[in-house]
Amino acid sequence: MYTIFIVGTAGSGKSTLTASFSDWLKDQEQSTLLVNLDPAASTLPYEPDIDVRDYVDYERIMAVRRLGPNAALVASVREAVRHVEELVDAINSVSTDFTIVDTPGQLELFAFRKEGRILSKHIGGERKLMFFILDPMFSATTRNFVASMFLAASIYLSFGIPMILVLNKIDAVPRKYVERIERWSESLDALVVEVENKLKGGLMLFSREVAQAIHDIVSTLPIIPVSSITMEGFTELHATLTRVIGEGELELR
């Protein structure tokens, strides 16, 4: 059994990928268990098998504790951790080929709080990995690409579990954006040339430092272009995830 945590910035397509990758896996005769960890999800493009909203009432927390939407989200994720054993029991009671865990809309709630690490530690067994979703619309400029890779590296270091960079929404951008991002992620030289050409002054120097510092990490992470709408790239995504887990690659612990 594989467990995949889907992580990315708000709107990057986590929930859509959860739904469509599960549909794709089912077409390959693989069974899936879908876990929603977003307490504030109002609608989801899939029917979760395990749902944090059954354990945590975001609206009620907001009303009763008189919290704003963000504080209520933080409180809800904290509350979810109190139910981690029940969540894990519910997940483990089902035998499946793939467990796909959709994480809260706002990346930082899961990625930069201890609750995210507690949940990712307890959910799933040996074969777990993370898909970090990139939006090619954002990542196709030099400085945003460097910033995205910095974010990916920091999440990878924070969780220490194998990570695949999933470049989503490729149906919605020109092909040259995708090729550019692939080129930069494969070659530090290409990225440094780009940084030197496109940026100036302190921003150029700082971006170059960052690019050089994180390149050794990022270049080990596979980057797979996909579309969660057309399912393009899912064959490669599946092959990459089984290879990464099979070879025990990219494990930091």
Q: Which does 229 bind (CB under 5 to 8 A by kind): Mg ion, ligand GDP, none?
A: ligand GDP
- Rank residues 151 and 195 by Cβ distance to ligand GDP and give the closer one: 151
Applying the rule CB under 6 A, the residues between 147 and 206 that interact with ligand GDP are: 168-169, 171-172
Edge-to-edge strands of the sheet including 163-167? 50-51, 32-36, 98-102, 2-8, 128-134, 163-167, 223-225
Closest separation in Å from C-beta 142 to Mg ion = 28
Q: Which residues bind Mg ion (CB under 5 A)?
A: 14-15, 105
- 132 phi/psi in degrees, rounded to 5: -100, 115
Closest separation in Å from C-beta 110 to Mg ion = 11
- 3 phi/psi in degrees, rounded to 5: -120, 125
Binding segment for ligand GDP (CB under 6 A), chosen from 27-35, 120-128, 141-149, 222-230, is 222-230
* Residue 4 near residue 101, CB atoms below 8 Å: yes
Other C-beta atoms closer than 10 Å to the C-beta of 196 total 14
- Dig out the tokens for 90 from the structure: 């519910």
- Dig out the tokens for 43 from the structure: 């609608």
Q: In this chain, which of 227, 238, 244, 245 binds ligand GDP, going by CB under 6 A?
A: 227
Closest separation in Å from C-beta 31 to ligand GDP = 22
Closest separation in Å from C-beta 192 to Mg ion = 35
Closest separation in Å from C-beta 215 to Mg ion = 30
Q: Which residues pair with 4 in a beta bridge?
A: 100, 129
Cα–Cα distance for residue pair 87/67, rounded to 1 Å: 25
Name residue, tokens 């939407």.
Answer: 69
Q: In this chain, which of 56, 228, 237, 241 binds ligand GDP, going by CB under 6 A?
A: 228
Applying the rule CB under 6 A, the residues between 71 and 130 that interact with ligand GDP are: 105
Closest separation in Å from C-beta 41 to ligand GDP = 8
Q: Which does 136 bind (CB under 5 to 8 A by kind): ligand GDP, Mg ion, none?
A: none
Angle at 203 between CA 219 and CA 184, to 5 degrees: 25
Q: Which residues pair with 127 in a beta bridge?
A: none
Q: In this chain, which of 2, 8, 166, 211 binds ligand GDP, going by CB under 6 A?
A: 8
Footprint of ligand GDP (CB under 6 A): 8, 10-16, 105, 168-169, 171-172, 227-229
